[in-house]
Amino acid sequence: MRPSGRNLSDMRPISIETGVMRHAEGSCLISCGDTKVLCSATIEDKAPPFLKGSGQGWVTAEYGMLPRATNSRNRREAAAGKQSGRTQEIQRLIGRALRAGVDRRALGERQIVIDCDVIQADGGTRCASITGGWVALRLAVNKLMKAGIVTTDPIMDHVAAVSCGIYAGQPLLDLDYAEDSEAGTDGNFIMTGAGRLIEIQMSAEGATFSRPEMNQLLDLAEGGIAALVAAQKAAI
């Protein structure tokens, strides 16, 4: 039995509330169980300098965690004067994942910045950030298209992410913190709505894993992604 009482293939309850920030071009609050992330999209009228004259746009992301998002206070990174390596790695992952679902030429020479702020953490914050970040991105692009600024939809497909792992010898879908912190194998699966793989992060956290076990986790992830995409569609 999982600590949460869920079955091996059960997701945590998912909710996505849109329009939660007045000034952002797109925003949502995504909840995956007790993990809650505020996601917003900001449209900037010019692309980064390295894309000047290319006719292509850019999607990037920033990620942060509020001091009391966890059970003990984390010092603000701004107070330390630099971002942690973990923060940098996660926000690069979010940006890579979301760009994989965008036709950057159709977007034109502009940038969309996705901000993901974790207000409560219980495992899977990077996955929730990608899933919610896509919703914020979709809403921002909808505004561009409604205004006639972009005429061809640059979003090619949904993008969502879910964690899977091996806990107490069993493959599990959508790990919460109690499971993630004790998992022998931990993985994050990022996929499109059509089931195409964008990125897989897997590592042995205390026990190696076999090819059949990896296949089991991928099967679980596919089911989880389908549930997340359904929640994205309902939200928008």
pLDDT digits (tens, 9 = 90+) for 105-157: 999 999 999 999 999 999 999 999 999 999 999 999 999 999 999 999 999 99
* Helix, strand and coil percent figures for the chain, each rounded to 5: 35, 30, 35
Q: What is the pLDDT of residue 213?
A: 95
Regarding pTM above 0.85, the answer is yes
Find out whether 96 is annotated in a ligand binding site: no
Length of the chain: 236
Find out whether 165 is annotated in a ligand binding site: no
In order of their start, the domains of the chain are 14-235 (3.30.230.70)
Q: In 10 A of CB 68, how many CB atoms?
A: 12
Find out whether 152 is annotated in a ligand binding site: no
Segments of the chain scoring below 70 in pLDDT: none
CB-based contacts of 209, cutoff 8 Å, min separation 6: 166, 184, 185, 202
Residues 31/24, Cβ–Cβ less than 8 Å: no
Find out whether 124 is annotated in a ligand binding site: yes
Enter the tokens of residue 225: 């992604």
Q: What is the pLDDT of residue 79?
A: 85
Backbone angles phi, psi at 210, to 5 degrees: -100, 165
Q: What is the pLDDT of residue 1?
A: 73
